[in-house]
Structure 1
């Protein structure tokens, strides 16, 4: 009792000798709070570093940042390289999220560089998937200085009735470079993540020519940045010359340099075709699709198949098609190309009424295809003709690429029927690679006439073509301009009604979506397989009010858009000649 009294007096909580009382009452009323305050329960700060790092590995990126602000010890612990290396792996790479400014060897990055990448990727994905995504920062700038107030003074032509026809993000520059296309001018802009200005990096004017289309190279490591297709009037009656040029960016001199140019055709049609693609050294042009190895300077190779419809626009490239090919294709009904993609060693062509998969022929050192090269492949007829289409090729790891013949592919097609408007999704799922033993087993089963399903062979189609769409999404009639990024995120534009207080007015809205693919492990007797999913974000990413006249005439202020889904940027080209950059990370 004396010791207890002296302890209480020692802490200054009692200044006189307490009256005799039961020991239980003393502990219950006064001593227990004092004992608890003297011996607090252990917390996170009392844990050793190895256990604390294990706890941190179980929480998210935002929780790590919140923990850092609680004490000085957590500041030093959360700045360790292991913390952000683990966070980048578990919260970004394992979830198949894109890594900003990706470097194959992540071991060469410092703790701060890993931290910046993990935070940026996590915040962009969380904002994109939130119920109400919002842009963190906007940058607005004109493509010409000074910009004319009267649009009639911009000398717009019939072929290019708007100041801006395209805005494009070149891959490999972390979303900080933007290409804008005008009537006869191509400009490259730098928009840093900090600041509110855009700086002109390079520009080039094509005097006397009209730019019909521009395509960015899919390979960020290739010296060619883009391919430009242009036309000009060369004679009467109106005779137009169509040319394709491969450009490289020269940032030191502030210009674009021509690496290769080729004359495609001379005809009375102004434009060749809006469809083109640049995949490293291989350019895909025209309709039917023509392969051109621009670096080797080889001849053109036409990818065609006699049992598929072709568009009459083949007349536009009659000079690069084999003799008699134009008359051969004209007997078929029109079926324009909507999208083309190069997937491994196959060419995927999406037309209005069917999907076509063609093997790429082998080329010699001069860029010529070997004789007898076959372009026979697989095709799928769709239910209704489409007006727009985009192709998403899902990335795979090196181990997965070795085990499967193809990449998982998602195709989105916008169709109009008598009962409504739809976005239809088609999945091209890869087949596993057949081993030597499986190939021998297949041959034995064929010789014996076995009805047992044989394993896939190298001569089979590398993927399955679905007989019907795997998903159908209703959309309003105003749905248009399908845009997709390299990593599966995309958007389209549509007109919605927005109510604010007692007022309801129309807005032009961006609707986002996510196209993902995952490998489903083998279960019971079912082998492993790929599954493609599509999630539509109904709440608009961006909304811009429009007037009733714009809705009636369908001449909206937003003309074109582009998405960089690695860092979370959207570029918008307006009717007034201005470009707006929206940051979502």
Structure 2
């Protein structure tokens, strides 16, 4: 009889390549030698490729060789992926803490690459607190320009950049302040430093490395390099039937392939990749589309395919832009279901980089097919929400809040006799945090699925949310100053 303990290490490593994550963890329990071999980095590199990356489970986009704790990340990604494919991806842990008691929480945002959460609260004036989510929740730092209100907030997508976030401050001297958040030696406390100031009334929308995008509520988006001071203006021109001053609040800016996608409340615009200079060149849109009145919207870029996997997997759609939105109506009596609609903008296979003219790329062609294509819908409901945020992530998972049942007495004058009314498909009396998986790596049907309830809020006081797909972590702020952290 040949036992596993008599097999050489190289053969055992080869055998482990054919096992799943639960199988390897079970093998680890059989003997001391199995525990030692199963802890080797090469074992978890192999299993990460076969059981996580090739399945399209959410995972870090950094090179595997740069990840220090590959086993922990692989195990978490595997169980997160299988949970999203289950019928009920309920959170396994929850934590509620008072970020700023009795103060309205305006924004919650996870910092990429770090176990930190930024909380923006609004009382007499605005303030920011930073919280460390490792080993419980602890306050790290706080910052507030006394007597001022924030009206814009953007966190850097690059965790290695010196600039951590950009904040728009409205007082007697409107400006955007670029802040850096750095820990002290013990990593339990930190401090905010102002590293740059831009005098403007515009709001910061996106920050990626040294590049900041800030916008007005009508037509202009400025792309600005913080290091060298170069910039460019992206301006959308109103179409027939619209006035030049019509409000169209900027919600999101996506730096896409050879282009910039500007998502506004009433329209989306695709601009060519600008060449930044001191003279601030002006760029018009390559394409424009309107979804009508939008209650919430989120755009994301699908992940690049894993170069080690050559299968015909649906996630091999390079650089596709996905958009999830919930429509709104100005009719409070409508019984129309306001479904969550999922759109895709695929790369144009005929696109070629156009020749440059006067040092700027020609706007004669678009790198993406326009207009966006409706790919899937899942049922949603109509109702009043303080938190209209929708968070769509690269692998197609999304979370948002569904409203509570509409109050009939709130829609009818007090001197009108109320009669019983049948309201079809009445939603629950409490607002709910729901999740859905849309076409992509994790969708079993390829056409979208029903939403799944993750959490019910009996207080009906959620004001904002954020979602980290890679870690399976969700944060929800409330009007009472508390923050709820859910771990999937």
Q: Which category of TM-score, normalised to the shorter sequence, fits these structures?
A: 0.7 to 0.9
- Structure 1 counterpart of 2:280, from 369, 373, 379: 369
Mapped partners of 1:545, 1:123: distance in 2: 29
2:129 to 165, 183, 187: 187
Say whether residues 1:510 and 2:446 are aligned partners. Answer: no
Distance 1:108 1:245 in 2: 32
Q: Which runs of 5+ in 1 are unaligned?
A: 1-39, 152-161, 235-240, 266-271, 313-328, 440-456, 498-503, 519-531, 547-555
For this pair of structures, how many residues does the alignment match?
A: 433
SS in 2 for 1:259: strand
1:184-216 CA-partner distances (Å, limit 9, x unpaired):
211111110xx33x2222211211111112111
Over 3 Å counting, the alpha-carbon distance change for 1:572 and 1:108 in structure 2 is closer
* Structure 2 unaligned spans of 5+: 309-315, 355-361, 406-426
Shift of 1:285: 1.7
Q: Kindly indicate whether the alpha-carbon contact (under 8 Å) linking 1:292 and 1:298 is maintained by their aligned counterparts in 2.
A: no
Shift of 1:71: 3.6
Is the CA contact 1:167–1:179 (under 8 Å) kept in the aligned structure 2?
A: yes
What are the residue-to-residue correspondences of 1:181-260 with 2, within 5 Å? 181-183=120-122, 184-192=126-134, 195-196=135-136, 198-232=137-171, 234=172, 241-252=173-184, 254-260=190-196
Report how far residue 119 of structure 1 moved: 0.8
Alignment partners' CA distance in 1, 2:318 and 2:183: 37
The 3-state SS of whatever aligns with 2:158 is coil
Are 1:94 and 2:54 an aligned pair? yes
**From 383, 389, 395, the counterpart of 2:303:** 395
Cα shift readout 1:3-59 (whole Å, capped 9, x = no counterpart): xxxxxxxxxxxxxxxxxxxxxxxxxxxxxxxxxxxxx7x676676655544332222
Specify whether residues 45 and 334 from structure 1 end up closer, same or farther in structure 2 by C-alpha distance, changes over 3 A only: same
Q: Residues 376 and 163 (structure 1 numbering): CA distance in 2 closer, same or farther, change over 3 Å?
A: closer
Superposed CA offset, 1:285-343 (max 9, x none): 2232322425246376431143547998xxxxxxxxxxxxxxxx23xx44443432121
Q: C-alpha distance in 1, partners of 2:261/2:163?
A: 22
Matches within 5 A, 1:119-134: 119-134=75-90
Query: 1:424 pairs with 341, 359, 369, which one?
Result: 341
State the distance in 2 between where 1:466 and 1:433 align: 16
Q: Secondary structure at the match of 2:379?
A: strand
Q: How big is the shift at 1:468?
A: 4.9
Contact 1:282 1:291 (C-alpha < 8 Å) held by counterparts: no
Q: Tell whether 2:257 aligns with 1:344.
A: yes
| Cα contact 1:394–1:516 (8 A) shared by 2 | no
| Alignment map for 1:434-445 (pairs within 5 Å) | none
Secondary structure at 2:399 match in 1:
strand
Partner of 1:545: 458
TM-aligned CA distance change 1:433 to 1:82, over 3 Å: farther
CA shift, 1:96, in A, is 3.2
Other-structure match for 2:401: 493
Confirm whether residue 558 of structure 1 aligns to residue 462 of structure 2. Answer: yes
Determine helix, strand or coil for the equivalent of 2:486. strand
Distance apart, 1:506 and its partner CA: 3.0
In the TM superposition, 1:3-42 aligns within 5 A as none
Larger relative contact order (Cα-Cα within 8 Å, sequence gap ≥ 6): 2
1:464 aligns with 2:406: no
Aligned to 1:295: 226
Superposition deviation, residue 434 in structure 1: 6.5
| Equivalent residue number for residue 287 of structure 2 | 378
Distance 2:352 2:152 in 1: 44
TM-superposed CA distance for 1:92, in Å, is 1.8
The structure whose residues are more often helix, as a share, is: 1
Q: Structure 1 residue 458: deviation in Å?
A: 9.5
Q: How far has the Cα of 1:477 moved from its partner?
A: 1.1
For residues 30-109 of structure 1, the aligned pairs below 5 Å read 49-99=9-59, 103-104=62-63, 106-107=64-65
Answering whether residue 476 of structure 2 is matched by residue 572 of structure 1, we say yes
Instruction: Kindly state the Cα deviation for residue 562 of structure 1 after the two structures are TM-superposed.
Output: 1.1
**Distance across 2 between alignment mates of 1:78 and 1:301:** 53
Aligned match for 2:392, one of 484, 487, 509: 484
RMSD: 3.5
3-state SS in 2 of match to 1:208: coil
How far is the alpha carbon of 1:475 from its aligned partner?
A: 0.7
Q: Secondary structure at the match of 1:206?
A: coil
Q: For the residues of structure 2 that align with 1:543 and 1:507, how far apart are their CA atoms?
A: 7
Whether 1:166 aligns to 2:107 is: yes
Q: Give the structure 2 partner of residue 27 of structure 1.
A: none
Structure 2 partner of 1:276: 205
Higher Rg of the two aligned structures = 1
Alpha-carbon shift at residue 227 of structure 1 (Å): 0.5
Pair 1:412-2:318 in alignment? no
Q: Structure 1-normalised TM-score? A: 0.66
Structure 1 residues 433 and 51, CA, compared in 2 at 3 Å: closer, same or farther? farther
Deviation for aligned residue 1:169: 0.4
Once residues 397 and 369 of structure 1 are traced to their aligned partners in structure 2, the CA distance between those partners, rounded to angstroms, is 35
Instruction: Evaluate the alpha carbon distance shift between residue 231 and residue 245 of structure 1 in structure 2; reply closer, same or farther with a 3 A threshold.
Output: same
